[in-house]
Every structure is written in C-alpha cells, then in structure tokens.
Amino acid sequence: MRIRTIQENAAAAPQTIARPRSLELFAGAGGMALGLHAAGFEHAALVEFEPKACATLGHNAALWQARNGSVPPWKVTAVHLADVRDFDFRSELGHGELDLVAGGPPCQPFSLGGVHAGMNDPRNMFPAALALVRDLRPKLVLFENVAGLLRSGFFPYFEYVEAQLHDPLCAPGDDEDWHRHRDRLARRRAGNSGERYYVTRQLLNAADFGVPQLRNRVFLMAIRADLSDVPIPPLLATHSEAVLLNDQWVSGLYWERHGLALPAGAPASARAATRSVTTSAQLPWRTVRDAISGLPEPVDGVESPSASSHVGIPGARSYAGHTGSEIDRPSKTIKAGVHGVCGGEAMIRYSDGRLRYMTVREAARIQTFPDNYEFVGARSHAMRQIGNAVPVELAAAVGRHMRASAGL
C-alpha cells in the first residue's frame, strides 16, 4: 500500500477560499501538523522547544519551497524554536480569529515508560497550553496525550484539565493550588455558569483509523459554545481487526494482495473473531507488511539509493518485553524512549522467527509520514522524533471530524 506524497496530500485536502487557521503547540517533528493540514487547516505558527525537531520542521518547509509544490503544509517563517511559555503569540499570529489551537503537551510526565511525576513534573505543559486557550479563545481546541492520563493516579488532574477547557476564563489565582481551583470550577459548573467550550474525551487506537500501529492515545476535542450547543461526537473507527483477520484467514485476500500463499493452520481465535464479518463497511487494520511494502530490503550500514533514511541496522535481538512487531500485524507502539531509541518496538519479527531493526524510513511509514519527509539528526534523533509524533493519518481523521462538527 503506497504512502501518498506531501504534494498529493495537499491536493487531496479540502480546498476552500480561506483555510481555517491553526496554531500548533509542542509541534515535534510535525505529525499532527501534517495531518491537520491534510484535513484542511492552515498553520499560522508551529512552536517547538527541541532544536532537532524544530530543525526538521524548518528543513521540510525549505524543501517544499524549493520544490514549488502546491499549498505547502507550513511556511519556513511559521516555524519557531521557542518555549510556549515565553512565545509572543499575539505579535506572531497577527489579526484575525484563530480557528484551532492544537498540540500534544509533553507526555513523559504521564507515560508508563517515564518516572510518573505527572502534574508535579516540570515538563507538565498543560498549564501553559490552557493559558493560551484563555488568551486566544479559538473556535476549536485539540489536545493529545498518552493513555496513562486515564490511570487512577493521574485521572483527577486530567479531569481538572477538562474542567479548565469547559470554563477557560475562570483562571487559577496566584496562590490557588489546582485542587482549590478544580473545586471552584466545579461550583461554577454546578451553578450553570461559565460554560465556554463543550469538551469530548476519546481514547483512540491509531490502528482503527488506518495507521499500521497499535497506539492508544487520549484526545480532548473542544468546541466553543457559540458554535455548537452539543459536544463534538466521538469518532467512529474506519478500520478493524476483525476485517484484517477475515482477509488473512477466511478469504485470503491479504496474502493475495502481497503475492504470498495462504499459510497453513489458521488460528482458531482468528476464525472466531471473523464470524461476524459479512458486509462490514470498515477496512482491514493495516500491518507492518502493508506499511513497508515497496521498500527494498535494507542493507546493514548502506543507504538505499531509492529510499531516504533506509539503512539497515545490525544486531537486533529479542529479550523479555522486547520481542519486536509481527510483520503481519500492526506494529507495536513506536516510542521515543527516555534514553534513546526504544529498540523492542522498533524491530520486525518475521513468521520464520527472523528479527531485524526497522529503518528510520520504515518507522516513519508506521507513523504514516510521507516518503519525502526528512528528519534532521542521527538515527537516534530521528527515531525519537518519529516516536514522539502523532500519526499523520490519525491527526487527519481527527482534524476532518472536528472541521465537520464546527462547520469550518
């Protein structure tokens, strides 16, 4: 299955006289920004604190400018290396209403792989993001973060974030801790005052939206109350595991698509899972094999002449908790890692037991970045940028859904 180029994504995006304007916070390597552009948004500014990720945003903007492609996802001048707490948004954004504030506040404070400091972690950027919502009052707000926010230890704080989105003009006092502010917000809501946004919380698996990866993330989608009297409805999945299993073990279409013979011995669980699949309108989950189809077999230490950042890495090995991703299933979650590349998820396991590392280009395809998107820095930097990103196709699905809900 071929990944569309950036130019093709731009051409396929909804074309309007004036695209709705968005502000991208914590932009990282641009996964969410690319997806929102494909959904029809124009990025007024992208703000990123990490120098290599910000360099990736600027580098690709310069490439689009040199190629003279149609409707580049963002301009070089829209990219800003800055801390969102210090950035002068008013002067950079200029006049005119902002349609969307989007971003994924750093997830390490709430990640299962982190130190679990949560709201007490200095990297917790929710207060800064919410302060911008109060100041800019966009029509829509989109926050993405790890599913760990729904764990019991962090959930009260997550509900507090939601409460602030409902009533952003009720700002915390200088000496008011978050518990007291949360209680004050609850009293205002109980008194039917202060409702400014309707907020929808949804846990989404990227595989359910055409991304070849099992990646669960929580999304907050908010719409200003003067635009709608109801919250944004939940997204409906477009892809399913049952259809994939049916294509693999009942119809055999999956193997036919890849020019392979149907393997013997279909697992009983697969057949049981597909009994209800008859005329499903959903598409099959995409697999690792689907994602990397068309790329040449990587050679260790040698850059591919036909695919950028496609260099084989020797030494892949399996150990407890790091067994790789099966080639005929969606990938495990691609992660950034705390101290470097997270190797266990960045490996491919073949049906004969063979194991190898994913190349940077393969990992980028797993995150649905287009093939002409380039990452600045060594492999470790590139893989960290890819692992931190929102999958492009998932961001596009969410963006289209929010646009339709707001009538933009």
Per the annotation, the verdict on 107 as an active-site residue is yes
Q: Judge whether 188 and 209 are in contact, CB under 8 Å.
A: no
Nearest-angstrom CA–CA distance, 96 and 197: 20
Q: What token pair was written down for 54?
A: 């910000």
Give the count of beta carbons closer than 10 Å to the beta carbon of residue 330: 26
Coil, helix or strand at residue 46: strand
Nearest-angstrom CA–CA distance, 199 and 222: 4
| Residue 30 to residues 20, 154, 164, 364, Cα–Cα distance (Å) | 18, 27, 26, 12
Q: What token pair was written down for 284?
A: 């099959």
Nearest-angstrom CA–CA distance, 140 and 127: 18
Give the count of beta carbons closer than 10 Å to the beta carbon of residue 91: 7
Give the count of beta carbons closer than 10 Å to the beta carbon of residue 269: 10
Q: Judge whether 108 and 123 are in contact, CB under 8 Å.
A: yes
Tell which residue, 322, 324, 316, 318, has the closest CA to residue 300.
316
What's the angle, vertex CA 32, arms to CA 26 and CA 37, rounded to 5?
120
State the catalytic residues.
107
